[in-house]
Chain A
Amino acid sequence: MSNTLILLIVLVIGVLGFFAGRARAMAAAGGDRRNLHSLPNYYGANTALNAIVPAGIALAVWLIVQPFVINNTVSGMIDQEAIAEGSSLGLIMSDVRRVAEGLDVAVAEGAMTEETAADMRTEFTDVRERLAEVGVALGSGVTSETLQAAQRYREMAWTGNWLKTLVVIAISIGGLALTWRLITRDYRARNVVEKGVLSVLILAASIAILTTVGIVFSLIFNTYEFFKLYPAADFFFGLNWSPSFSGRGQSSQLGILPLLWGTLYISLIALLVAVPIGLFSAIYLSEYASKSVRAIAKPMLEVLAGIPTIVYGLFALLTVGPLLVGVFGEGGALGVTWMSGGTAVMTAGLVMGMMLIPFVSSLSDDIINAVPQAMRDGSLGLGATHSETVRKVILPAALPGIVGAILLAASRAIGETMIVVLGAGAAARLSLNPFDAMTTVTAKIVSQLTGDSDFSSPVALVAFALGISLFVVTLGLNIFALYIVRKYREQYE
């Protein structure tokens, strides 16, 4: 029986449990809900939960454990000496699984009966041919050992599946029955449901945390693999980035510094654009704008934040790049030849700055609004003008929060990819000219992993090392920003 069907049955049992529990509670109360400890629905929910949750957990555990058990048993059948040169137990086991799946398909399509599949011997039947008839292609002929292992595999999987179905449904019904029996007038169903709600919330929170941990660990393991193939010192201090996809890994030069330089340079330009504009617009919106202007301008500014970054990338590529070439390029308005192509640090930086404006302005706006009105009154009451008040009282008071906002914006700039891929070019170089094409860590991660990559070569694995370096940088910035923001909050609350 398929897992979906089992789950469905369990859910149906749960729904039945809901009504059974509710009915029993009502009966125990003599039909008057006021006699009950909890509302009748709580008794129902409690019964349903006990019917569904333990069964669900059992199903999940079974799904994880069963393949392990079968694999271990079946691989025990395979003679160590039968493993051919250049092969391994793992390869044979994947053959076994393929044959087993092929037999499943053949049986399902009616090409052979269950008995034939179970009793088939390589001496009498060409298994490869028979399976090819139903569309399962095998790389090589099937040895008798593999076939036997596959048949054993099928047998165990079949038994396991039935056992699983029975056990899960039994647990479900058991849970229902046990809870149902417990229900009396004074049974505290409400408190049990409360615990259920709590565990759902904890589960959700831990999924988010575990995902982070999982991502970090996958980065760490792959980075470790990379450093086994490529010296760490060359990676962190190398001044050249020239991966050679064709040759052996050793001929590639994979230094992170040119990429890190590109990342920081572009982020710097982006912040130089975003911080003043974002901050000034936040000051205007929170201090000067009338209510009606604010009601229109603020959402409009925040729409900027909703534009996908790839659209910004197109804007950089098609509009800003050519515009800059028209000014700073050869034959341009200034008569200088600083810029040779549309893709440059400046292009990506400007556009990324525009992307960050709503980010900076919206956070700063909240922070400026959090400065108590008493500060403004105090300053205005001393005869300060509005802008003096903003400059000398409000901004200093809001400064820690604004710094936090800027740092958060910076960590977004460092992690930004699409604008850079389209706007900054692909050449990794250490240059001070903002009109040169450069590239960033994120853009290189993309280019290392797109296309036909072989995950055992340093040229592909370097992406993970780049990823974790970037992760460490942005994590550090985020922690620093949060620290500052939190410190600021303590002042006024």
Chain B
Amino acid sequence: MKDMIPVDRKMSTMQDSKISARGVQVYYGETHAIKDVSVEIADNTVTAFIGPSGCGKSTFLRCINRMNDTIDTARVMGDILIDGEDIYDPRVDPVQLRAKVGMVFQKPNPFPKSIYDNVAYGPKIHGLARNKADLDEIVEKSLRKAALWEEAKDRLDKPGTGLSGGQQQRLCIARAIATAPEVLLMDEPCSALDPIATAQVEELIDELRQSYSVVIVTHSMQQAARVSQKTAFFHLGNLVEYDDTDKIFTNPQDPRTESYISGRIG
């Protein structure tokens, strides 16, 4: 297991937690999907959620930008605070919240529009650009951050669906960071990608850590070990263990974590 962990991982300066969840419970109709999860997620850190399928890690991720609101039967209880502000407070507008908490999905889902319009979508609806030049700049900056600019700059007016899978996913990341979010949620962002595209996206995630708090759900333990500083292990809706990634993978405290990372449950 050790050889998977980059040796030179330095923990960034740990600030106070960016996101703090306290006693979160989620129900889908009668199903109790998340059971009393409390977690503190730091800024400028990549936090990985791992666990077997159906353990609730994606559900928990979707609580952080209130995407569960779009599911009729979902009920969320408990508190989730971002920068000390309860995002489930009735005064919070979920639409504004989602601009602040960007999300990248499992399957690349570029809109059937041009590459430019895909990236400009968020800034346009939130009025982030004063004029066309401003918007051009945002689009370029976002594409550069997503390491797509060199490949896409000559075809900005071509449809985003015409890109390769890895490029599409980086386009979706560019689209998410164009609205200048503070937190970036990634729901298995590499599960539909080939190894080369995966490596590119992982490299990107490491760079994004400079500016955002990144939370990534992944099925690949190697990926969690490669990109994250903190890892949370979910099992059957419970948060079993949450600690530094190194510690989780080398010296897990809970026997369930030990079994999962060594491949005995999953």
**A residues at B contact (CB < 8 Å):** 290-291, 372, 374-385, 388, 392-393, 396-397, 491
Within 8 A of A (CB), among B71-102: 72, 95-100, 102
**CB–CB B176/A374 < 8 A:** no
**CB–CB A382/B72 < 8 A:** no
Which of the listed residues A372, A378, A379, A396 has the most CB atoms from chain B within 10 Å of its own CB?
Answer: A378
**CB–CB B95/A377 < 8 A:** no
Binding stretch for chain A, among B36-44, B118-126, B229-237: B118-126
**CB–CB B105/A374 < 8 A:** yes
Chain A neighbourhood of B111, CB < 8 A:
375, 378-379, 392-393, 396-397
Within the complex, which residue of B65, B125, B126 is in contact with A381, where a contact is CB–CB below 8 Å?
A: B65
How many whole Å from B43's CB to the nearest CB in chain A?
20
Can you list 28 A-B contacts with CB-CB less than 8 angstroms, sorted by A residue number? A374-B109, A375-B109, A377-B67, A377-B105, A377-B109, A378-B105, A378-B111, A378-B172, A378-B175, A380-B67, A380-B70, A381-B65, A381-B67, A381-B98, A382-B98, A382-B103, A382-B121, A382-B175, A382-B176, A382-B179, A383-B95, A383-B100, A383-B179, A385-B95, A388-B125, A392-B111, A393-B111, A396-B111
Chain A neighbourhood of B54, CB < 8 A:
none
Which of the listed residues A291, A378, A381, A393 has the most CB atoms from chain B within 10 Å of its own CB?
Answer: A381
How many whole Å from B114's CB to the nearest CB in chain A?
11
Please measure, in the bound complex, the distance between the C-alpha atom of A439 and the C-alpha atom of B96, giving whole angstroms.
55
Residue in A closest to B69 when the chains form the complex, CB atoms: A380
Please measure, in the bound complex, the distance between the C-alpha atom of A375 and the C-alpha atom of B113, giving whole angstroms.
11
4 smallest A-B Cβ distances: which pairs?
A: A383-B99, A374-B109, A381-B103, A383-B98
Q: Does B107 contact A (CB under 8 A)?
A: yes
Q: A290-B72, A374-B105 are in contact. Are A379 and B112 (CB under 8 A)?
A: no
Q: A290-B72, A388-B125, A392-B125 are in contact. Are A381 and B112 (CB under 8 A)?
A: no
Within the complex, which residue of A291, A380, A491 is in contact with B112, where a contact is CB–CB below 8 Å?
A: A491
Please measure, in the bound complex, the distance between the C-alpha atom of A291 and the C-alpha atom of B73, giving whole angstroms.
11
Residue in A closest to B178 when the chains form the complex, CB atoms: A382
**CB–CB A396/B112 < 8 A:** yes
**CB–CB A382/B109 < 8 A:** no
How many whole Å from A298's CB to the nearest CB in chain B?
17
Residue in B closest to A385 when the chains form the complex, CB atoms: B95
How many whole Å from A190's CB to the nearest CB in chain B?
43
Residue in B closest to A378 when the chains form the complex, CB atoms: B109
Within the complex, which residue of B102, B107, B121, B126 is in contact with A379, where a contact is CB–CB below 8 Å?
A: B121
Give the interface size class of chain B: 20 to 34
Chain B neighbourhood of A384, CB < 8 A:
95, 121-122, 125
How many whole Å from A382's CB to the nearest CB in chain B?
4
How many whole Å from A492's CB to the nearest CB in chain B?
9
Q: Chain A interface secondary structure, helix, strand, loop or mixed?
A: helix
How many whole Å from B3's CB to the nearest CB in chain A?
36
**CB–CB B112/A397 < 8 A:** yes
Chain A neighbourhood of B176, CB < 8 A:
381-382
Please measure, in the bound complex, the distance between the C-alpha atom of A20 and the C-alpha atom of B105, giving whole angstroms.
65
**CB–CB B122/A383 < 8 A:** yes
Please measure, in the bound complex, the distance between the C-alpha atom of A465 and the C-alpha atom of B97, giving whole angstroms.
64
**CB–CB A382/B125 < 8 A:** yes
Chain B neighbourhood of A381, CB < 8 A:
65, 67, 98, 102-103, 105, 176
How many whole Å from A380's CB to the nearest CB in chain B?
6
**CB–CB B95/A374 < 8 A:** no
**CB–CB B109/A372 < 8 A:** yes
Please measure, in the bound complex, the distance between the C-alpha atom of A225 and the C-alpha atom of B125, giving whole angstroms.
63
Within the complex, which residue of A378, A380, A383, A396 is in contact with B96, where a contact is CB–CB below 8 Å?
A: A383
Please measure, in the bound complex, the distance between the C-alpha atom of A381 and the C-alpha atom of B94, giving whole angstroms.
10
How many whole Å from A18's CB to the nearest CB in chain B?
54
Please measure, in the bound complex, the distance between the C-alpha atom of A290 and the C-alpha atom of B72, giving whole angstroms.
8
Chain A neighbourhood of B103, CB < 8 A:
377, 381-382
Residue in A closest to B124 when the chains form the complex, CB atoms: A392
Within the complex, which residue of A374, A377, A383 is in contact with B125, where a contact is CB–CB below 8 Å?
A: A383
Please measure, in the bound complex, the distance between the C-alpha atom of A449 and the C-alpha atom of B110, giving whole angstroms.
57
Please measure, in the bound complex, the distance between the C-alpha atom of A21 and the C-alpha atom of B121, giving whole angstroms.
72
Chain B neighbourhood of A383, CB < 8 A:
95-100, 122, 125-126, 179
Which of the listed residues B72, B98, B111, B176 has the most CB atoms from chain A within 10 Å of its own CB?
Answer: B111
Please measure, in the bound complex, the distance between the C-alpha atom of A379 and the C-alpha atom of B109, giving whole angstroms.
10
Chain A neighbourhood of B72, CB < 8 A:
290-291
Chain B neighbourhood of A397, CB < 8 A:
111-112
A-contact 0/1 string along B171-200, CB 8 Å cutoff: 010011001000000000000000000000
**CB–CB A396/B113 < 8 A:** yes
Which of the listed residues A380, A392, A396 has the most CB atoms from chain B within 10 Å of its own CB?
Answer: A380
How many whole Å from A484's CB to the nearest CB in chain B?
15
Chain B neighbourhood of A385, CB < 8 A:
95
Residue in B closest to A491 when the chains form the complex, CB atoms: B112
Chain B neighbourhood of A380, CB < 8 A:
67, 70, 98
**CB–CB B122/A382 < 8 A:** yes
Please measure, in the bound complex, the distance between the C-alpha atom of A392 and the C-alpha atom of B70, giving whole angstroms.
18
Within the complex, which residue of B70, B102, B107 is in contact with A382, where a contact is CB–CB below 8 Å?
A: B102
Residue in B closest to A290 when the chains form the complex, CB atoms: B72
How many whole Å from B117's CB to the nearest CB in chain A?
9
How many whole Å from B39's CB to the nearest CB in chain A?
21
Known contacts A377-B67, A378-B110, A396-B113; can you find 5 more A-B pairs with CB under 8 A?
A372-B109, A378-B105, A378-B175, A381-B103, A383-B100
Chain A neighbourhood of B99, CB < 8 A:
382-383
Chain B neighbourhood of A376, CB < 8 A:
70
